[in-house]
Amino acid sequence: MNDLHYLSAVELSELIRSKQLSPVELTRSTLERAERLQPALNCFITLCGDEALDAARTAEQEIMAGRYLGPLHGIPYAAKDLVDTAGVRTTYGTLAYKDHIPEQDAVAVARLKRAGAVLFGKTTTPEFGSQCITRSPLFGDTRNAWSAAHSSGGSSGGAAVAVAAGIGPIGIATDGGGSTRIPAAVNGVVGLKQSLGVVPHSQAQDAFGNQTYVTPISRTVMDTVLMLDAMAGAHGCDPWSRARGTPSVAEAGKTGSFAGRRIRYCLAPKGKLVEPSVQLAFQAALDTMAGAGALLEPFEAGDEFDVEPIWRTVNHTVWRSRFGKLVQERPADFSATFIRQIESAEHFSAADYQDAMFSRTRLFRHVENLLENADILVTPTLLRPALPLDQDLFSPFEIAGQRIEGIRSNWFPWTMPFNMTGNPAISLPNGFDAAGLPIGIQFIGSLGQDNALLQLALAFEALTPQHYGRPVA
């Protein structure tokens, strides 16, 4: 049964399609595992067992009647608790919405439902997805799948832990500054932030200035491709999705090759410390790509990649506009860390916001210029492995033996830029440190070139099977 839990969605779908595995059996086993591991991991805020089993019975009946919908039919998945699910409690990680039940599915959820996938639960997130640590006054800390002493990352920590621990093969996450890629890296799974507009974002309140994404998260690249195929495509809720239309990602199932591919790489932005284990893993990955025929060229990341002030101006202004009144009315419902983030935007002006958007445009043009003569950019996802479980967003943290301030700008300086630019970026497993904590590597592609990026991600995955493991029984 443990082998069943660690099968990919691709493998499970073949068993279901050929009627060797019942969607009901699979869903029941998934729910049992979720309930067994929840006390240790704390990665779910809601399990919807009865609804999931009903959906699994419907899927089984359809398949037995010859109405097979495709590779996600009967496959269980969990959705991050920021993503609306009709009739299923969605708290946004906050006490203020602890009993909230949406009336309508988010577009990504509706499309997975249409593909026959089975929603079995909602995964934990900090308050409104506001941290790189999955902690909330509503449910406490979500622990790393590989170490109970370490954080799961965030803000999609629950989604990453659920797939890493073999509870479900796939999940829906979100990414506003690295919130899919950060927990993917620290839990040893695959986290994609696709190009802006590929997956419609029906909950974005500023659809035109949006830098947040509803994303797949999974244990393998091909499972991410299956999810993206189901979730992608134009929709009237999102102007960027209508402009971009539906990319052809299905062809990414054909693994690409590094032979002759031009790779530009950088270990860290100027002046940033890097954990030695991350540096060693990064060099080993570059050697692997070079050995497979890639042409490697370094690039330097100077002040143009000092993105945290830009990201903070945009994001915190949005948060203050959305949640400022709620925090004033119900301060006891929110953590001091969340309140501090809301208050930090008090003095941002409209001109400050517009200057940040000008900087966002300059950064996009710089990234595309770097990619003009390269197939992808490659960086570490994070500059150290997982943080301690008790780490606070505003406290110093340790990296390369030094205590430093500024988690955002010093732990994940490589994730925020691509939320601002819209470029597709994927975090892949890249080995482990001496303590057994996962390390991630990030591939970045040109805007709209998700297919090409996924093909090289598949190629790297095929070259590094040793990076994929099973953290819990």
In a domain, 177, yes or no: yes
In a domain, 245, yes or no: yes
In a domain, 214, yes or no: yes
Cα 333 to chain center, whole Å?
A: 26
The mean pLDDT of 419-437, rounded to a whole number, is 98
In a domain, 291, yes or no: no
Q: Specify which residues 443 forms β-bridges with.
A: 378, 426
* Angle at which helices 23-41 and 9-17 cross, to 10°: 150
In a domain, 284, yes or no: no
Per-residue pLDDT reduced to its tens digit, 63-83:
999 999 999 999 999 999 999
The candidate with the shortest Cα–Cα distance to 203, out of 92, 123, 324, is 92
Please tell me the total count of domains within the chain.
1
Per-residue pLDDT reduced to its tens digit, 150-203:
999 999 999 999 999 999 999 999 999 999 999 999 999 999 999 999 999 999
Residue 300 is predicted with a pLDDT of 97
The candidate with the shortest Cα–Cα distance to 105, out of 92, 87, 78, 127, is 87
Per-residue pLDDT reduced to its tens digit, 293-335:
999 999 999 999 999 999 999 999 999 999 999 999 999 999 9
Give me the CATH number covering residue 7: 3.90.1300.10
In a domain, 321, yes or no: no
Per-residue pLDDT reduced to its tens digit, 41-61:
999 999 999 999 999 999 999
pTM, entire model: 0.97
Tell me the catalytic residues.
Answer: 80, 155, 179
Q: What percent of the chain has pLDDT over 70?
A: 97
Residue 250 is predicted with a pLDDT of 55
Can you tell me whether residue 412 is helix, strand or coil? coil
Q: Is 242's pLDDT higher than 80?
A: no
Domain that holds residue 89: 2-253
Q: Over the chain, what is the mean pLDDT?
A: 95
The phi and psi torsions of 347 (rounded to 5 degrees) equal -105, 5
Q: Where are the alpha helices (DSSP H) in 147-199?
A: 157-164, 181-187
**pLDDT bracket for residue 251 (50, 70, 90):** low
In a domain, 140, yes or no: yes
In a domain, 69, yes or no: yes
Residue 256 is predicted with a pLDDT of 82
